[in-house]
Structure 1
Amino acid sequence: MSVTDEQIQALAATAQPYSLTILRWTPERGMDGAAAIELEHQRRMVSMRAEGVIAVLCPVLADDVAGVAIMTVPAEEAREIMAADPCVRAGMMRSEVRPCLGFPGDALPA
């Protein structure tokens, strides 16, 4: 499929600000009580997804990266939200937040 310059410009005009959050495991992942802390992290992330704070939630099946989320709030607010995450507070994960642009209506295929 060939994309025209006009199509690129039309799509670019619809871009909206989001925040990309990357959660990385730390060596504390295996600490005592980690499973219960991780369950609370999961509950919180799924709740934020249900509330619309997280638009896309992607757990990552890797030893270094725990997950990626696209959040609908500004980067500074996303940083504050993630600083309060149970796994981040326990030192099991660290959070990186970057401002990004996305295109409303984009979705993962069913």
Structure 2
Amino acid sequence: MSTMVTDEQIQQLAATAKPFSVALLSWTPERHMDGADATELEHQRRLVSLRADGVIAILCPVVSETLAGVLIMTVSPEAARVVMDDDPCVQAGMMTCEVYSAASFPGDALPA
């Protein structure tokens, strides 16, 4: 660590925290079932649409045989669960989804 942070800076940042939800999508053995490519395309279309609508703040596909993606969502965990239960890959059994309550700091972003 090269940047030193004071206790006061930590407290100031913590005071700005806002609630978010984190959704973890995991592949199941059904990932390669018949019709999987078309289902995955609809899943991708839906997630990009939810991102455009502001429901997903950060959409992070993961290149892995187990973890499919990480979503930072702007809705409550309960609402995130409802949204993700309607996902085509989740409904087809190709993915499972775990949703967690989280906090982050407005303005945080991935580097360009």
The 4+ residue runs of structure 1 with deviation greater than 6 A are none
Q: Report 1:40-79 matches (<5 A).
A: 40-79=42-81
Corresponding pairs, count: 110
The one-letter amino acid of 1:19's match is: S
Counterpart of 2:28? 26
The one-letter amino acid of 1:11's match is: L
1:64, distance to aligned residue in structure 2 (A): 0.2
Q: In 1, Cα distance between the equivalents of 2:107 and 2:53?
A: 17
Q: Secondary structure at the match of 1:100?
A: strand
Counterpart of 2:5? 3
- The CA RMSD measured in Å over matched residues stands at 0.3
- The one of 83, 92, 95 equivalent to 2:94 is 92
1:109, distance to aligned residue in structure 2 (A): 0.2
Q: In 1, Cα distance between the equivalents of 2:49 and 2:99?
A: 19
The one-letter amino acid of 1:58's match is: C
Q: What TM-score do you get using the length of structure 2 for normalisation?
A: 0.98
Percent sequence identity is: 66
Q: Which runs of 5+ in 2 are unaligned?
A: none
Q: In 2, Cα distance between the equivalents of 1:76 and 1:36?
A: 28
